[in-house]
Structure 1
């Protein structure tokens, strides 16, 4: 056993050290930086909580962080609600020999650049874009809509489209693992289609739903490109503010502080999502 343990440690040592160097190391550097202060080009390495106090009391930081969490929450809810029916249809109603084709079609958006997709949405949502031109042409609206670009609405629409495949795939995997005989047993016991879905299918698919929630929510909070391109002043998120502190504002410690605050907020909300999902799944069974 000692020989096997040594061999196992030898095998995991390189990837473990690699993960420490590229993940834990930078995070530790950001954490340490957040306790420093900077005056233009001079960094004061005296440990202080001034940055955290400012982040907690300054209304600008609270507003933008709150907006980021709200936008990410809206994107997550919309994406998962739209992704579940697609995953359910592919899993339960598509012939087994055609499921691979459907999954292939779902992943087609990955073939194009993420930035290119954002620019395409920018063209579609613009004042004279595809959507406004089409609605004006058929007489639905008299003048172009102004609330679908350069605001939080545009960010939600763009991110919901970009992260849709990330939500569909884990839900599909969870649905595929459900034993169909359980559904037949539920029908034999008098359950109808709705109650069997709520009491059997949905609880068993909850791991995939939770995975989809986390996969969408966590990265969208820190998305930088989409708010910068389609968000406008009212759609900027915490990542844009962090970039400003590391760049033009020349206050890297404050940017590091905002990064830590954002990561802590996301971690707390992710744990709450998992807890609620476990309670919900247990209560439905």
Structure 2
């Protein structure tokens, strides 16, 4: 009877009802994520058939040794991290003023309209937006044609396309809304009376922002950094289109190994290695940020 009573209290608890409500969806999502990931991890320890058959189910560490010691893979991985870091920096630096303006300087009844306008880029395909930047930055694109028409240049500029900078600009534009929204949410949660208290104590607007607004907005900034940094490392469409296939990132290497060369074990090892590197960097960033916030408090 006592066990039945305890079970009854458990089933009536809000926590149990909450877990029961989300469990079907959570299990479904876990299955969709775990099954492909487990398959990739399994394949990364197998042997490539080398023309005999696709995969020889024989355990080996050769794929990871090649992925970590080959200077080409190492250079491409470093380039991918650099591009992702620059995209994240540019996106967050440009997104913060927009989120700040909407949160603090737009009337409450117009904030929804501004957020609606910010999300308009999502109405078009990501691929279409990438091609538009190719048109804008191309050899005979909008920028070069405009500069030639007003007489600032005689020949088209070649350094604005097919380079890392063009990839960074394209990715920063594509992921801008992902950075604006979490920062805006964090700014909206700030108690405005804290800012008034800072001004009443004689702080300038700049110091109030530095000592009150920015620290309280850090959770949104952290969310924006992670939301932008993690997927941009694995982007392969933009480098392929904007870079003309001449500036591959790690995702392009994985795609080539899995589809073009059909070396699934090596491609899986490179993919798992990239995931581990990104995971470690993200974890270090989050832990360092948490420690910084504890010190500030």
Q: Note whether the superposition's TM-score is higher than 0.5.
A: yes
**2:260 aligned counterpart, secondary structure:** coil
For 2:210, the equivalent position in structure 1 comes to 198
**1:247 aligned counterpart, secondary structure:** helix
Q: TM-score, normalization: structure 2?
A: 0.91
Structure 2 counterpart of 1:160, from 172, 179, 182: 172
Alpha carbons 2:54, 2:262 under 8 Å: kept:
no
- The 5 A counterparts of 1:180-195 are 180-195=192-207
CA-to-aligned-CA distance 1:35-61 (integer Å, 9 cap, x gap): 011123242222111111111110110
Residue 16 of structure 1 and its aligned partner are, at CA, apart by 3.6
Structure 2 gaps of 5+ residues are: 1-5
**2:203 aligned counterpart, secondary structure:** coil
Q: TM-score, normalization: structure 1?
A: 0.95
Structure 1 gaps of 5+ residues are: none
Question: Partners in 1 of 2:210 and 2:238 — Cα distance?
Answer: 36
- My pick for the range that moved more, 223-232 or 170-179, is 223-232
Alpha carbons 2:45, 2:63 under 8 Å: kept:
yes
- The 5 A counterparts of 1:75-224 are 75-224=87-236
Cα RMSD (Å): 1.7
1:30 and 2:35 are equivalent in the alignment: no
Alpha carbons 1:183, 1:196 under 8 Å: kept:
yes
Residue 5 of structure 1 and its aligned partner are, at CA, apart by 4.3
For 2:276, the equivalent position in structure 1 comes to 264
Question: Partners in 1 of 2:122 and 2:131 — Cα distance?
Answer: 15
Which structure has the larger Rg over C-alpha atoms?
2
Residue 150 of structure 1 and its aligned partner are, at CA, apart by 1.8
Alpha carbons 1:198, 1:284 under 8 Å: kept:
no
For 1:62, the equivalent position in structure 2 comes to 74
Structure 1 counterpart of 2:29, from 11, 15, 19: 19
- My pick for the range that moved more, 267-276 or 201-210, is 267-276
Alpha carbons 1:152, 1:234 under 8 Å: kept:
no
Residue 121 of structure 1 and its aligned partner are, at CA, apart by 0.7
1:71 and 2:83 are equivalent in the alignment: yes
